[in-house]
Amino acid sequence: MAKESTRTAPEERLVNLVVALMATEQGLTKDTILSSVAGYREQSDSGASKDALEKMFERDKENIRGLGIPVETIGDYADPDDLRDARYRIPTAEYELPADIEFTSAEIAVLNLAGGVWSESSMSADARAGLRKIRALGIDVDAPIIGYSPRISLRAPSFAPLQRAIEQGRVVEFSYLKAGEDAAHVRRIQPLALLEYEARWHVYGIDLAHDQPRTFLLARIVSDVHITRTTFDIALRENAGEHALAGLVDLAARQRALLEVDPGTEAALRLSRRAQPAEQGIRVPYVDVHIFADELASYGPEVRVVEPAALRDEVIARLQRALALHSDMEDPT
Alpha helices in the chain (DSSP H): 2-5, 10-22, 30-36, 41-45, 50-66, 105-117, 125-136, 159-168, 240-254, 266-271, 289-298, 309-330
Alpha carbon distance 28, 57 (integer Å): 13
Give the strand order in the sheet containing 256-261: 276-278, 281-285, 256-261, 303-307
Handedness of CA 44, 50, 54, 56 (dihedral sign): negative
The pLDDT of 15-41, averaged and rounded, is 82
Mean pLDDT of the chain: 77
pLDDT band of 162, cuts 50, 70, 90: very high
| Amino acid identity, position 90 | I
| Residue 304: predicted pLDDT | 95
74 pLDDT more than 60: yes
Per-residue burial over 281-320, b if 16 or more Cβ lie within 10 Å, else e, is: bbbbbbbbbebbbebbbbbeebbbbeeeeebbebbeebbe
Q: What is the pLDDT of residues 103-144, one digit of tens each?
A: 665 555 555 555 544 444 445 555 555 555 556 555 555 544
| Residue 96: predicted pLDDT | 58
Q: What is the pLDDT of residues 308-328, one digit of tens each?
A: 999 999 999 989 988 887 666
Share of the chain above pLDDT 90, in %: 24
Q: Which of 93-107, 149-163, 182-196 has the highest mean pLDDT?
A: 182-196
| Residue 147: predicted pLDDT | 40
pLDDT band of 152, cuts 50, 70, 90: very low
Q: Which domains does the chain have, with CATH numbers?
A: 2-145 (no CATH), 159-243 (2.30.30), 255-330 (no CATH)
Closest CA to 271 of 313, 308, 299: 299
Alpha carbon distance 146, 144 (integer Å): 5
Handedness of CA 232, 233, 234, 237 (dihedral sign): negative
Q: What is the pLDDT of residues 234-285, one digit of tens each?
A: 899 988 888 888 888 898 889 999 999 998 787 887 788 788 898 889 999 9
* Residue pair 304/260 in contact by the 8 Å Cβ criterion: yes
Alpha carbon distance 137, 32 (integer Å): 9
180 pLDDT more than 60: yes
Closest CA to 292 of 200, 201, 156: 200
Q: What is the pLDDT of residues 227-243, one digit of tens each?
A: 999 999 989 998 888 88
| Residue 146: predicted pLDDT | 39
Closest CA to 302 of 331, 327, 272: 272
pLDDT band of 154, cuts 50, 70, 90: very low
Closest CA to 221 of 160, 285, 153: 160
| Residue 192: predicted pLDDT | 94
